Structure 1
Amino acid sequence: MIAWKQRKVREVTDRYDNLRIPVAANLRVSGTTPYYGANGIQDYVDGYTHDGEFILVAEDGANDLKNYPVRCVKGRIWVNNHAHVLQGKYDSADNKFLACAISQADIESLLVGGGRAKLNAENLMDMNLLLPNKAEQIRIGKYFAQLDHLITLHQRKIDKLKNLKKAMLEKMFPKKGSVIPEIRFNGFANAWEQRKLGDMGSTFTGLSGKTKEDFGHGDAQFITYMNVFSNPVANLEMTEAVEIDAKQNSVKKGDVFFTTSSETPEEVGMSCVMPENKNNIYLNSFCFGYRPTEKFDLDYLAYVLRADSFRKEMTFLAQGISRYNISKNKVMEVSIPIPNLEEQTMVGRYFSILNNLITLHQRKLDMLKKLKSACLSEMFI
């Protein structure tokens, strides 16, 4: 086994910062060449500044100093003046390996300046790295390149599914003033009803009379604010402990939870549905509950309340300046579109499957990122 050797970055790379050209956004000519800044691709332009395989290292304006922006890129690129451009010397360094090695170095300790920390070229080129022989570098570099490729593929799948979900939330529910959705399943032609939430159920409050000492222990759980905000259907693993309290309102299957406030009007009135009955479970104090008296398909109910038309109603009702709030009485005045139960089930199942696919790819993506992080930690000391 051949020991790795310590080398300075300047010994194993050439720097091509002199070829960089910053171009203001309004002066860029649209094209197919990726335009790189400190944190990655900012635009696509005509022309190029560099052609080949390079390592880009943020010079200033990095958005994450702990996971400093370092990437290996290949082909024709345009680089502005916020990223250093390095290329490994052919006889001693592999670019993919170097990108990994530099990303694992303690770059934060080398930064200078205040709010906009800067990595000076001299500090970058004087950085010490441990390098194996080039053959081993190539094998390690290829391994991480394959991991990055898989990560990119899963991220693209997630993005496509999220875009599809966003589009369908707009098109599979009637817009305001309409009783027919733009897209619907074959075999359904009847107009949908528009009915006020307040005519189909009643509200209840979340936890009350509690202090911070009451939380974090006990045999009961409560649905957290972030659970409601993040999930159309409540995630029963996203609960926190609290003592059993018979004076509180217990939640049950089919209940809907609404957030009452947020920092932006677009995020007020986010909702989720309770998917099953569970003993001794409450709702957090920053949300209110809604208990329907009508029969709904629960998946349909979860997603009609996330549909574009309903979300616009919530944004319109939001009130505030630095923090926005919503009145539960106003929410109860809002109408939602309701097809027959059979069509509800079809629509609800469609969105449930779509959401499960997004979750599945997100889990795979998270696993790949953890694997990459673990391997980087083990391989680079």
Structure 2
Amino acid sequence: MENFSGTNQRSKKDRRTRKTKKMVGTMAKIDDSVKKKVPELRFPGFTDDWEERKLGSLTTVVRGASPRPIQDPKWFDKESDIGWLRIADVTEQNGRIYHLEQHISKLGQEKTRVLTEPHLLLSIAATVGKPVVNYVKTGVHDGFLIFLNPTFEREFMFQWLEMFRPKWQKYGQPGSQVNLNSELVRNQEIVLPNYKEQQKIGSFFKQLDNTITLHQRKLDLLKEQKKATCKRCSLKMVPKFL
């Protein structure tokens, strides 16, 4: 009986020892991963550590500008080749701007920031935290921040900002509108890989976005076909009441 008791105690001790070693090993792996600042899932061929930086060290962050009063028609010209980016355009095109309804006049262009090449922007009004890329010439009003001369890969940062968007809520009070500004955005920290890995990641997620958009268009078309078919069949399907 004494031998059995002693053996049982040693067995329990051995199990506790193995469990402790396993926990220590697991914590070491986690600690090692944190120190290396690398994600669990990566593309083949990339082994370098990711680097922690502030957004302001990767780009020059400036705010757009708006002519005032904005309702004055002299700021706009339908014949102008410079568009005028609005929040409604961002919502309609999900942040990737390929066309604009409004166009700004030469007089209006003097009162705003004009972009003639694609840039990454960030909405700080209404749809707060929404990343935007302009693929057309546009004036940028003061509801957006512009990232000038970036050292990051644009598509990678677009995807990062899209995923980070809910976290901007930490700068607002519960139930109130979040108020972002250029200083807050400049000081936001990000962990990112080298440029080539950024390109790989950005390209992968953009391809997924394109696939989602394609299927969404097909879905919208099917919904319209169903709606039209139901309308044509409605007289036969609805029973007549005397």
Q: How many residues align?
A: 197
Identity of aligned residues (%): 23
Distance, in Å, in 2 between the alignment partners of 1:292 and 1:377 is 53
Aligned to 2:154: 298
Partner of 1:246: 109
Structure 1 residue 205: deviation in Å?
A: 1.6
TM-score calculated relative to the size of structure 1: 0.46
Residue 254 of structure 1 and its aligned partner are, at CA, apart by: 4.8
**Partner SS for 1:368:** helix
The SS at the match of 2:102 is strand
CA-to-partner distance for each residue in 1:172-196, whole Å, 9 max, x for gaps?
xxx9997212211111111111211
The answer for the alignment partner of 2:47 in structure 1 is 189
Question: 1:241 is matched by which residue type in structure 2?
Answer: H
Change (3 A) 1:268 1:221: same
How far apart, in 2, do the equivalents of 1:176 and 1:325 lie? 31
Structure 2 portions without partners, runs of 5+: 1-32, 236-242
Deviations 1:286-335 (A, max 9, x none): 222221342x322112111122xx33541212357543321221111002
Q: Which residues of 2 match residues 82-231 of structure 1 at below 5 A?
A: 179-202=37-60, 203-214=62-73, 217-218=77-78, 219=80, 220-228=82-90
Distance (Å, rounded) in 2 between the aligned partners of 1:200 and 1:350: 22
**Inter-partner Cα distance in structure 1 for 2:55 and 2:197:** 19
Deviation at 1:360, TM superposition (A): 0.5
Give the match's secondary structure for 1:331: helix
What TM-score do the two structures reach when normalised by structure 2? 0.69
Whole-angstrom CA distance in 2 between matches of 1:231 and 1:176: 37
Q: 1:258 aligns with which of 105, 111, 122?
A: 122
Please name the residue that 1:378 is paired with.
232
* Structure 1 residue ranges without an equivalent (≥5): 1-174
C-alpha distance in 1, partners of 2:162/2:35?
18
Query: How many angstroms apart in 2 are the aligned matches of 1:238 and 1:246?
Result: 15
The answer to whether the aligner puts 1:271 opposite 2:134 as a matched pair is: no
Separation in 2 of the partners of 1:301 and 1:365?
29
Match of 2:113, SS? Answer: coil
Partner of 1:286: 143
* 3-state SS, counterpart of residue 325 of structure 1: coil
Contact 1:234/1:272 (<8 A) preserved = yes
Change (3 A) 1:241 1:376: farther
Map of 2:19 onto structure 1:
none
SS of the residue 1:212 aligns to: coil
- Structure 1 distance, partners of 2:100, 2:109, is 22
Give the direction of change, closer, same or farther, for the CA distance of 1:242–1:319 in structure 2 (3 Å limit).
farther
Contact 1:254 1:292 in 2 (8 A): no
Q: In structure 1, the residue corresponding to 2:103 is in which secondary structure?
A: strand
Larger strand proportion, structure 1 or 2?
A: 1
1:252 shift after superposition: 4.3
The letter of the residue matching 1:257 is L
Partners of 1:369 and 1:231 lie apart in 2 by 19
Q: Residues 313 and 379 (structure 1 numbering): CA distance in 2 closer, same or farther, change over 3 Å?
A: closer
Q: Deviation string for 1:30-61 (max 9, x for gaps)?
A: xxxxxxxxxxxxxxxxxxxxxxxxxxxxxxxx
Change in 2 beyond 3 A, CA 1:289/1:283: same
How has the CA–CA distance of structure 1 residues 251 and 293 changed in structure 2, closer, same or farther, with 3 Å as cutoff?
Answer: same
Does the 8 Å CA contact 1:254/1:291 hold for their aligned counterparts?
A: no
Equivalent of 1:347 in 201, 204, 207: 201
How far residue 250 of structure 1 moved from its aligned partner, in angstroms, is: 0.7
Superposition deviation, residue 369 in structure 1:
0.8
Aligned counterparts of 2:140 and 2:116: Cα–Cα separation in 1 = 10
